[in-house]
A = this chain, B = another copy of it.
C-alpha cells in the first residue's frame, strides 16, 4: 500500500466527529483530508470552529483544514459520518447516491433492509447487502452502519453465545456514560449525584438492532434473530463507558465456565485479518468478582473490546453477566473505522 486512502469526516466538530479525527490520527490506512459540518461552520478553519473536547490536542494535519459543507464536493471517496440524526438521513443518502462510501454512526439507516449493520467479528457476511443496496438505489456509493453504542457491547457478548447455544431471551439494564449523549449533552445539574432512568429511543434501538446484527443474511436480506430483547436504559455520572447487566436464556444447556471459555477465546475476521483497529481479543473475560468497571477497564484493548465479567447462573433465566465497553470508541467512532478497515481488507473500497 503506497499511499493512504483519503477520508472525510461528516459532523466533524461534534462529539463523534472529534473522536473520528482523534482515532484516525496516524492511522496506517486512512488519512483525514476533508472535514465537513453544518453550513454554520463551513468555511472556517477546523481549530477555530471546534470546541475540542479530547484529552489529546487536535491533530496537526486537521487543525487548519477548512470546514466544508456536507455536499458531494468532498475530495475523498470514503466518509465517516458522525452527523446528528436530525440531518444524517438525507445527507448520507445523497452522498451514497453521489458515489461516496459512507460509514455511518447514525441511527437513520441502520434498519434499512439493504443497509448492513455490521460488527466485523460477528456478521461480516452482511456486507453481502452492499451490491443489493447499490442496485436498489442505482448508486455507486453505499452506506454501511454500526450499531448504537449500548447495543454494541450486548451484541458482541451475545454473538458467540448465539452461534453456539442459540440465544432465546435477553434482558438488559444499562448504566450509560454521559459522553454517549454528545456535547453539551447531559446538563451537570441533571446527573451529579443522580441516575436518569430514561434515554430517549435507546431501548427500542437495543431491542431491534441486536436482532438485526445477530440475524442471518439469506442472500437477499437479513432475517432478524429469533429472540426477544428487553432493555432498560439508565444514565449515570460516568464520563466514558457503558455498563450493562444482562440476563439470558439459551437454547441448550451449558455452564458459566463454558461460557467464559467460549467468550475468552472468541475472535473473528478483524483478528484474522489483523485489521489496524482490531482488539487482540474482542471479548475480554475478567475474573475478579467486581469487574469490569468503567473507570478502570474502559480503555483496555484501546477501548475496542467488550469486557465481560460476573458470568454466573440466573435464578430466573439461565445466565447473567456484566458487560462494559467504551461507548465513544468501540461504541461509535472506533466501530465505524473498524468497519472501514474490513471493507478495505475485503476489497469493498476499490
- Name A's B-contacting residues (CB within 8 A): 53, 55, 169-171, 173, 175, 178-179, 183-198, 207, 228-230, 232, 234, 236-239, 241, 243, 245, 247, 289-297, 299, 309-310, 314-317, 320, 322, 324
Q: How far is the CA of A320 from the CA of B175 in the complex (A)?
A: 16
Cβ-defined contact, B236 with A237, below 8 A: yes
Q: Residue A187 contacts which of B185, B230, B296, B314 (CB distance < 8 angstroms)?
A: B185
* Bound Cα distance from A45 to B187, whole angstroms: 24
> How far is A196 from B196 in the complex, measured between Cα atoms in Å?
17
* A189, A247, A293: residue with the most chain B Cβ atoms closer than 10 Å: A189
Q: Is chain A's binding surface mostly helix, strand, loop or mixed? A: mixed
A187, closest chain B residue (CB): B184
Contact of A189 among B184, B189, B241, B316 (CB under 8 A): B184
**B193 close to A238 (CB less than 8 A):** yes
A91 to chain B, nearest CB (A): 25
Assuming A290-B198, A315-B229, is B192 touching A295 (CB within 8 A)? yes
Number of copies of this protein chain within its complex: 4
Chain A to chain B: the 4 pairs with minimum beta-carbon distance, closest first: A173-B173, A184-B187, A194-B295, A232-B245
Interchain Cβ contacts under 8 Å between A and B, 23 examples: A170-B316, A175-B195, A179-B189, A183-B187, A183-B189, A184-B189, A185-B188, A186-B188, A187-B188, A192-B192, A192-B238, A193-B193, A193-B238, A193-B295, A195-B241, A197-B291, A197-B324, A198-B310, A230-B314, A232-B245, A232-B310, A236-B236, A237-B237
Indicate whether A55 sits within 8 Å of B299 (C-beta atoms), given known contacts A173-B245, A230-B317, A320-B230. Answer: yes
A111 to chain B, nearest CB (A): 16
| Nearest CB in chain B: distance from A288 CB, A | 9
Q: Chain B: which residue is nearest A191 at the CB level?
A: B188
CA A306 – CA B297 in complex, angstroms?
27
